[in-house]
Amino acid sequence: MKKSTLSLSILFFQFLIIGLHSQTLEWNTLGSGDKTDLYSEQNYMDVSTGLVPVENTINGDTEINRDVCIRSGVVGGENGASLTLKTGIGGLTVENATLIMNSAENAGIDLGVGNTNFIMSNATVRTQFVHNATIIMEGRSQ
């Protein structure tokens, strides 16, 4: 009996981790957000639901544990996003967009411990650092 309970617990944990990782937050310039704040849920769409993510899904210096895709706009605004973007077990894609992290606050990008991909495709990223990422640059990225 203990062995089957342990097996079910392990399967549930694996399902939970895989389920969290498969969720994607996509930057949504059609949403009601200000179109620049990296940490405003109103600027994103949860791809699995088609809705704006719930409050406190995206916070600086807190692991998001989802893939983040930014495919348009100047994210972070003129001064850049403060606090570090931590995706946890998720990856980061910046495509045909600009992502600016605030240099005065030493804000950067940390993709956690999963050796996840940071994909830049025809994108510009200004940041103080990138940690724990496999960086893939395509097109005219810088």
pLDDT grade, residue 19 (50/70/90)? very low
State the chain's mean pLDDT as an integer: 85
pTM as predicted: 0.82
User: 3-state SS string over 45-81?
Assistant: EECCCCECCCCCCCCCCCECCCEEEECCCEECCCCCE
CA-to-CA distance for 39 and 56, rounded, in angstroms? 9
pLDDT in tens, 44-99: 999 999 999 999 999 999 999 999 999 999 999 999 999 999 999 999 999 999 99
pLDDT grade, residue 116 (50/70/90)? confident
